[in-house]
Structure 1
Amino acid sequence: MKVRFYPVALAALLSCTTATRTAVPEAAAVLAATPPTAAAPVTATKAMVISAHPEASRIGLEILQKGGNAYDAAVAVQFALAVCFPVAGNIGGGGFLLYRGADGTEGALDFRETAPAAATRDMYLDAQGNVIAGRSTAGHLAVGIPGTVAGMEVVHKKLGKLPWADLVQPALDLAARGVRLTAKEAAGFNRVRPEFVKYNASVAPAYVRADGETRPWQEGDVVQYPDLARTLQRIRDKGRAGFYEGETATLIVAEMKRGNGLITKQDLQGYQAKWRTPLHGQYRGYDVLTFPPPSSGGVALLQMLQMLEPYDLGKAGWHSPQAVHWLTEAERRVYADRATYLGDPDFGRVPVAQLLNPKYNRQRMSTIHANGRATPSKEVTAGSGLPGYESDQTTHYNVVDAQGNAVSCTTTLNGAYGSKVVVAGAGFLLNNEMDDFSSKPGTPNSYGLVGGVANAITPGKRMLSSMTPALLTKNGKLQMAIGTPGGSTIITSVLQGIINTLDYGMNAQQAVAAPRLHHQWLPDQIDAEEKALLPAAADTLRRRGYTINPGGKWGRMEEIRVLPDGRLEGGADPRGDDTTRGY
């Protein structure tokens, strides 16, 4: 497909016959940006796997080639990522898995972590009611009850084809023989070494050199995980009981006691993954299938797509001042709603239907300035008339099999390497997901996100997430699987991935590689990756009242597109070691 990047000057000359085709001030002086050249996308004729690590993608593809389906491959990839991508891949965390069968069946599995029974609403506050810095982000008290192993067993029992042991064994083998570090992984281990030492009783074997050697990790070093291999063996042989009961559970509880954490054996045994009803929305003739609460991502994504559909983004030009104005104003309003209304639906009413009412979202966008000026966030609150009530180290993978079954799964420890706590004797990292609760309503978490009472800490409750796995169909046929890590930027990144493909005609690799923008209501600024805006466009936006915050790269987006001829086209984010494999 030919990529279309229209200069704003051209957009200004086009006939604007409706209110949605707003004239662009200063159009003659500002051109839409052109994303840097991306590598060619990978194509395949039958099946495809994209994940954050080449070893995990290899394992997923091998499962497909052995006769496994997309769900088998997803389970195998999840366990493999726990070994080869410890910064976010996990068995000590949780996530959301969205699927669509070739027959049109669909489902959303919530294996998000939950708060321990001993958790309290004010557990991260001091005597004066102020948030204690760092208490919810690192160490044992930051850990929620892990959901990954339970979730994978539920997926396999409902949808899998190959024996369970065949899906866990590749990760076990990988842990036993070792993983060769990439440059990014070596740098990550070196960066967090002081925290590994701080939060673990001894220098954590495998994650920090245990032989007394102090030289930094280097690209090409091989890391073995013998304790993790034994844990995976128990999971292989006993399923969820090999994690939530027996030796592994004993080791987890002992680790909690050592660091004054809260998780008990009763917490572990009581954990349950939950099936949710997927959300549906429309954009440019496509059906968008995504995740419901306790993810905020699906609701927010569909709100923003509703808000933006009346506007001709393609003619405005990629990241032109006019397109950025529309995008930012939609994001600002949706994140204000997120802070007020979204939380775990098992613990209070979440007004999903009202938030996804087209009339409501049209009204929200009716307050933007037609001349392209910014609406200060202090003037934007959550919509009225509704009932009251994540470092970016998550990871995402997509799988499409030869039958047309598709999986879009986002999984996380929350921050990079989670709580930095390694379960002694079990060899895996624990999450720091408790930070995704609102420690104090109105106080930002580690991502700067503000939450409210709907996301307050309650025992057994699932913390609000930004994870946004999505699948797109048209006329009943799969068209796209997409998702990304990135903490609070997940929702806006998935939005831009979809827009890049549907509005700007980018292929899958271009769509995930293109520099990104982000606005989340508070703080009131547009975060901009390098080369996301032309200097002249940034200057125009500043004159219109926007604050531009140049930043580093974020997210690792994955996209699989189904081409008109039925082939699969994969885009793996170059921001990481992400890899596409297909056949």
Structure 2
Amino acid sequence: MRLKFIFLFLAGFTVFAQQTQKPLVESTNGMVVSTHPAASEIGLQILQKGGNAIDAAVAVNFALAVSHPAAGNIGGGGFLVYRTAKGKAYTLDYREKAPLKASRDMYLDSAGNVIPGKSLIGIFSAGVPGTVNGMVEMHRKFGRLSWSEVVQPAVDLAANGLELTEKEARGLNRNRADFIKENPGKSYLISSDGQEFAKGQILKQPDLAQTLARIAQSKNKGFYAGPTADMIVEEMRKQNGLITHKDLRKYRAVWRKPLVSNYKQYRIIGMPPPSSGGVALAQLMKMMEPFPLSRWGVTSDSTLQVMIEAERRVYADRASWLGDPDFVKVPVAELMDSSYVTTRLQSMDFAKATPSADIKAGVFAGYESPETTHYSIVDKEGNAVSITTTLNNSYGSKVFVGGAGFLLNDEMDDFSSKPGVPNVFGLVGSKANEIQPEKRMLSSMTPTIIESNGKLKMVVGTPGGSTIITSVFQVVLNTLEMGMNMQQAVEYPRFHHQWLPDATRFEANRLSNDQLNRLGSKGYVFTPSGGIGLVEGILILPNGRLQGGADSRGDDTVKAY
């Protein structure tokens, strides 16, 4: 047994020294990590101009709406976790909302069955966008530069054009048929000569540039009123969608109380519901406290087992209890209570897997069961931003607003169309997340900021649908417990379990064949997977230097000075 332990420990240790696909970047003055080099560069320019982390965040968001249309957006929504240099924490919810005309059974047929694809693609899948209002609100409260200064770079990027990366060209080509089908009479993001897009090709988006210019000039009124709002409503009228002028006028982002939890000497600042990420990450980290993960090592069977079993139980709670707190009573305190969380793994047996069928959500007195992108920023003063924003699936609903040039989200699929029926990510939900007018749909987004002994330690988050929570969980452990630097932590192969279906997805090189056989004999089911998540992280070293991690699974880029 001792020899086996030494082997596993050394096998885990080798990852600390391995070459990463992207260079490790460190700096002292400021850092931006986003999923596209053009957006990261714009964020850096704002910091160098004297802007703070919020100014850079707004600039990056609008730049991503131009450079990363698969998820960067003005037609979706997201969450902000913000920590000032003095240690004060804030969270802003600008998640999309169900339109006023939405109803509980809107995606069911006459027999009460879910209509395949109706909540996933097309005009009927779109929720009321929150991104623009969220950007305006965070800038109003914390921005330093003028509004036009932080939006104008995105206007210029859309008007002058940007060079397509290989990944973006491939994504546009892959979605060409859907763009044509869902946008009769429009030609957005479709090559004018009928040929496929190629890496290095210049893409100009003049209609989007004009929309962004209206936002730069008039803030909320440049989107939720005036010509842009008229275009959104006209698109709804032509395709029988639900969003009205009243929906747009009524939308408001909401400042919510940050969700704070502890793991050993670390303080974790997360997003409360309607994000499930903050609660879930807090539960996962608390479940890990009794186990000597750093001694076991990142590759050990024991480490994998406790993490998989914790993920299984947390997603069971997520399915039953979490939803929009403005509509349902969410037992956040009970779910995060130490005495409850520590009991969740008592049924675990290292000799065999716990079947998901045997795992139920917790029971609490007084309650009834009821393509995303991320960026992390730290400025030279130490203000920190963690933002995850989304259209849901890659390129959202695939529907462009005619004349305005931007894509609408397909976030309505994040509701529970019918209790117990999985959404596109395989997640099941309950009455807590059923569709209601003006309700915010449940999310897995997990923007996170971590402190150590009162000082800023890490800013991290990722896209990835249902895998967001587990990706953040594993990257955090990679740094705090396994000793990896930020770049190694975000590149290290990941795995994912979400209660149902009862299987663990894993990336290449994460599990050896011997390990698969050993754990398989205990009843664990493993399924090979493509890339899981696109983590963007910033680690603050003991000497105060910033260390960036940009995921090699995508175009993610660190920019610093």
TM-score, normalised relative to structure 2? 0.97
Per-residue CA distance 1:203-247 (angstroms, 9 max, x = gap): 423x012x3x12111101111000000001100110010000000
User: Residue in 2 aligned with 1:20?
Assistant: none
User: Residue in 2 aligned with 1:315?
Assistant: 295
Q: Tell me if 1:334 matches 2:314.
A: yes
User: Residue in 2 aligned with 1:231?
Assistant: 211
Structure 2: where are the runs of 5+ without partners?
none
Contact 1:45–1:568 (CA<8 Å) still a contact in 2? yes
AA aligned to 1:380 is I
Q: Which moves more between the two structures, 87-96 or 360-369?
A: 360-369
User: Residue in 1 aligned with 2:449?
Assistant: 471
Contact 1:482–1:559 (CA<8 Å) still a contact in 2? yes
Query: Which of 222, 227, 247 lines up with 1:242 in the alignment?
Result: 222
Q: Closer, same or farther in 2 for the Cα pair 1:453/1:156, shift >3 Å?
A: same
Indicate the SS of the match to 1:343: coil
CA distance in 2 between counterparts of 1:33 and 1:254 reads 58
AA aligned to 1:373 is K
Q: Percent identity?
A: 54
Structure 1: where are the runs of 5+ without partners?
1-7, 14-26
User: Residue in 1 aligned with 2:361?
Assistant: 382
Structure 1 position 37, deviation (Å): 3.0
Per-residue CA distance 1:146-182 (angstroms, 9 max, x = gap): 0000000000110000000001100000000011101
User: Residue in 1 aligned with 2:93?
Assistant: 110
Contact 2:8–2:300 (CA<8 Å) still a contact in 1? no
Q: Tell me if 1:531 matches 2:509.
A: yes
Structure 1 position 515, deviation (Å): 0.4
Indicate the SS of the match to 2:374: strand
Query: Which of 434, 441, 444 lines up with 1:456 in the alignment?
Result: 434
Contact 2:159–2:204 (CA<8 Å) still a contact in 1? yes
Q: Tell me if 1:305 matches 2:288.
A: no
User: Residue in 2 aligned with 1:153?
Assistant: 136
Structure 1 position 385, deviation (Å): 3.0
User: Residue in 2 aligned with 1:183?
Assistant: 166
CA distance in 1 between counterparts of 2:241 and 2:13 reads 49
Structure 1 position 284, deviation (Å): 2.9
CA distance in 1 between counterparts of 2:519 and 2:125 reads 39
User: Residue in 2 aligned with 1:551?
Assistant: 529
CA distance in 2 between counterparts of 1:73 and 1:223 reads 23
Structure 1 position 102, deviation (Å): 0.6
Structure 1 position 59, deviation (Å): 0.4
CA distance in 1 between counterparts of 2:472 and 2:415 reads 22
Contact 2:9–2:300 (CA<8 Å) still a contact in 1? no
User: Residue in 2 aligned with 1:357?
Assistant: 337
CA distance in 1 between counterparts of 2:207 and 2:81 reads 31
User: Residue in 1 aligned with 2:275?
Assistant: 295
CA distance in 2 between counterparts of 1:358 and 1:431 reads 37
CA distance in 2 between counterparts of 1:106 and 1:188 reads 36
Per-residue CA distance 1:440-462 (angstroms, 9 max, x = gap): 00000000000000000000000
Q: What RMSD, in angstroms, separates the aligned Cα atoms of the two structures?
A: 1.5
Query: Which of 511, 514, 521 lines up with 2:489 in the alignment?
Result: 511
Equivalent positions of 1:382-531 (< 5 A) are 382-386=361-365, 387-389=367-369, 393-531=371-509
AA aligned to 1:353 is A
AA aligned to 2:379 is D
Structure 1 position 384, deviation (Å): 2.2
AA aligned to 2:468 is I
CA distance in 2 between counterparts of 1:223 and 1:425 reads 17
User: Residue in 2 aligned with 1:79?
Assistant: 62
Equivalent positions of 1:21-60 (< 5 A) are 32=12, 35=15, 37-38=19-20, 39-60=22-43
TM-score, normalised relative to structure 1? 0.94
User: Residue in 1 aligned with 2:255?
Assistant: 275
Between the two proteins, the alignment pairs up a number of residues equal to 556
User: Residue in 1 aligned with 2:190?
Assistant: 208
AA aligned to 1:208 is I
CA distance in 1 between counterparts of 2:9 and 2:165 reads 44
Structure 1 position 362, deviation (Å): 1.0
AA aligned to 1:157 is R
User: Residue in 2 aligned with 1:197?
Assistant: 180
Indicate the SS of the match to 1:347: coil
AA aligned to 1:341 is W
Q: Closer, same or farther in 2 for the Cα pair 1:359/1:421, shift >3 Å?
A: same
User: Residue in 2 aligned with 1:68?
Assistant: 51
Structure 1 position 259, deviation (Å): 1.3
User: Residue in 2 aligned with 1:18?
Assistant: none
User: Residue in 1 aligned with 2:233?
Assistant: 253
Indicate the SS of the match to 1:346: coil
AA aligned to 1:109 is L
CA distance in 2 between counterparts of 1:189 and 1:153 reads 29
CA distance in 2 between counterparts of 1:307 and 1:103 reads 30
AA aligned to 1:115 is A
Contact 2:71–2:395 (CA<8 Å) still a contact in 1? yes
Query: Which of 542, 555, 559 lines up with 1:577 in the alignment?
Result: 555
Structure 1 position 33, deviation (Å): 8.4
Indicate the SS of the match to 1:186: helix
CA distance in 2 between counterparts of 1:579 and 1:28 reads 32
AA aligned to 1:61 is L
Q: Which moves more between the two structures, 34-43 or 195-204?
A: 34-43
CA distance in 2 between counterparts of 1:388 and 1:221 reads 54
AA aligned to 2:364 is G
Q: Which moves more between the two structures, 151-160 or 380-389?
A: 380-389
Structure 1 position 537, deviation (Å): 1.0
Per-residue CA distance 1:507-536 (angstroms, 9 max, x = gap): 000000000010000000010000011111
AA aligned to 2:143 is G
Indicate the SS of the match to 1:239: helix
Q: Closer, same or farther in 2 for the Cα pair 1:72/1:504, shift >3 Å?
A: same
AA aligned to 1:335 is Y
AA aligned to 1:134 is G
AA aligned to 2:525 is T
CA distance in 2 between counterparts of 1:271 and 1:139 reads 22
Query: Which of 92, 104, 109 lines up with 2:75 in the alignment?
Result: 92
CA distance in 2 between counterparts of 1:557 and 1:323 reads 21
Q: Closer, same or farther in 2 for the Cα pair 1:399/1:29, shift >3 Å?
A: closer
Indicate the SS of the match to 2:223: helix
Equivalent positions of 1:367-378 (< 5 A) are 367-369=347-349, 371-378=350-357
Q: Tell me if 1:542 matches 2:499.
A: no
Structure 1 position 10, deviation (Å): 5.3
CA distance in 2 between counterparts of 1:372 and 1:493 reads 26
CA distance in 2 between counterparts of 1:514 and 1:65 reads 31
Contact 1:33–1:320 (CA<8 Å) still a contact in 2? no
AA aligned to 1:271 is Y
Structure 1 position 28, deviation (Å): 8.5
CA distance in 1 between counterparts of 2:495 and 2:289 reads 18
User: Residue in 2 aligned with 1:24?
Assistant: none
Per-residue CA distance 1:13-46 (angstroms, 9 max, x = gap): 7xxxxxxxxxxxxx98996585463143100111
User: Residue in 2 aligned with 1:264?
Assistant: 244
CA distance in 1 between counterparts of 2:395 and 2:419 reads 26
User: Residue in 2 aligned with 1:217?
Assistant: 197
CA distance in 2 between counterparts of 1:89 and 1:344 reads 23
